[in-house]
Amino acid sequence: MFERKKWAPAFAGATSSFDLRVMLDLTPHLLNGISLGLMFALIALGFMLIVGVMEVINLAHGSLFALGAYFAVFIMGLNLGVGIEARYALAFCLAPLGVALVGMALELAMRRTYGKDPLYGLLLTFGAALVIEEVIRLIWGSGEKQLLLPPDLGGAMLIGGFIYSKYRLYASVAAILLILLLYFFLEKTPYGAMIKAGAHDSEMVRALGINLTRLRLFVFALGTALAAAAGIVLAPIWGVRPHMGVDAVVPAFLIIVLGGVGSFWGAVLAGILVGVVVAVTGAYASEWSLLSMYLLLIALVTWRARGLFGKKTALEN
């Protein structure tokens, strides 16, 4: 009994010190995971808009994500007679608009597939993804590019006793603002109401006199613009290369399933969850980092087939 009393405080102190050290080591990886997850969610939300309204899986979404980053690189390289901060702001505004125009052209091409076997839409968007990637290679080459950043966004900062990247903090704030803007647009504007209605009952939308063809064009433009914005935000972290879209479209599809098809906040929460799992796994077992999100999908869908916030389906009956 005496020996237990003697060593208990020392053991407790050692345990407390160990826990604190583990938390300090884990915190940067958790923050990186949340930052990555917010950007994953941004990609997934654009993907989900197109799936919900148009009922087609856009396999070109990742290539349009990459195209947004390349458009930003192109704008940043122009000699516009303004500072780098103004050029970056211009790139962040114009690059998504340029990608939205490309997305609208793709939607026009897809109209002949509406009402037919979904395989036609899948094949068309898959072909479009290959074409966009090859166009990127022809114009910008196969080598990796770097997106120039304003000096204020570079470097590191001290947060709670550890060093953290300024850019990752900026990327997180940018992703949060874009997600909130999209949420308020969908929930508080008549256009958002039309988009949500089109996702649930396209025939009723048409009966109400809403131009469904124009609505689909607008939704495709919005979804691809979000993909481009995510590409610009992620470019300094991932690097800019022609096949970077593959790294984006797979997590986006996985996040939609995890969060529940059609659930806005389900996609956001699933994105953060995937980001944290990938970041923490990558820190301690890098070879498992990509596999970890698939294991997460298997575990969650086994427990809840409809995803985190999805509606009950025949799979659970």
pLDDT for position 300: 86
**Burial classification of residue 210, based on how many CB atoms lie within 10 Å of its CB (0-12 exposed, 13-18 middle, 19 or more buried):** middle
3 pLDDT more than 80: no
* R_g of the chain computed on alpha carbons: 22
Query: Does 299 map to a domain?
Result: no
Query: Is 110 within a domain?
Result: yes
pLDDT of residue 50: 82
User: How high is the mean pLDDT of the chain?
Assistant: 83
Structure confidence at residue 106 (pLDDT): 93
- Mean pLDDT, range 299-308, rounded to an integer: 83
C-alpha pair distances (Å), 92 with each of 217, 236, 254, 260: 22, 13, 27, 30
Residue 107, pLDDT above cutoff 50: yes
Q: Is the pLDDT of residue 5 over 70?
A: no
User: Number of structural domains, the chain?
Assistant: 1
283 lies in a domain? no
> Does 216 fall in a domain?
yes
What pLDDT shows up at residue 18?
46
**What mean pLDDT do residues 293-309 have?**
84
* pLDDT tens digits, one per residue of 236-259: 988 899 888 888 888 888 898 888
Q: How confident is the model at residue 286 (pLDDT cuts 50, 70, 90)?
A: confident
Across residues 67-85, what is the average pLDDT?
Answer: 90
E strand residue ranges, 196-269: none
Average pLDDT over residues 143-157: 85
The pLDDT, as a whole number, for residue 201 is: 63
Question: For position 243, what pLDDT does the model report?
Answer: 87
Q: Check residue 198 and give its pLDDT.
A: 66
Indicate if the pLDDT at residue 98 is higher than 50.
yes
Residue 82 CB coordination number (10 Å): 11
Please report which confidence band the pLDDT of residue 65 belongs to, taking 50, 70 and 90 as the band edges: very high
In the structure, how many helices (H) and strands (E) does the chain have?
11, 2
Inform me whether the pLDDT recorded for 153 exceeds 50. Answer: yes
Whether residue 7 is contained in a domain is answered as no
Per-residue pLDDT tens for 21-55?
555 667 777 888 898 899 999 999 988 888 876 77
- Host domain of residue 63: 41-240
pLDDT score at 227: 92
Instruction: Report, as an integer, the average pLDDT of 106-113.
Output: 89
Reply yes or no on whether the pLDDT at 124 is more than 80.
yes
* Residue 317: band (very low, low, confident or very high) from pLDDT cuts 50, 70, 90: very low
Nearest alpha carbon to residue 40 among 301, 312, 270: 270
Question: Residue 82 domain-assigned?
Answer: yes
Structural domain includes residue 114: yes
Higher-confidence residue of 314 and 128: namely: 128
Q: Per residue in 37-60, is it b (16+ CB within 10 Å) or e — as a string?
A: bbbbbbbbbbbbbbbbbbebbbbb
Give the pLDDT confidence of 6-19 residue by residue, as tens digits: 445 544 454 555 45
* pTM (two decimals): 0.84
Other Cβ atoms within 10 Å of 127 Cβ, number: 13
Structural domain includes residue 69: yes
* Confidence band for 311, pLDDT divided at 50, 70 and 90: low
Q: 72: pLDDT confidence band, cut at 50, 70 and 90?
A: very high
**120 or 25: whose pLDDT is higher?**
120
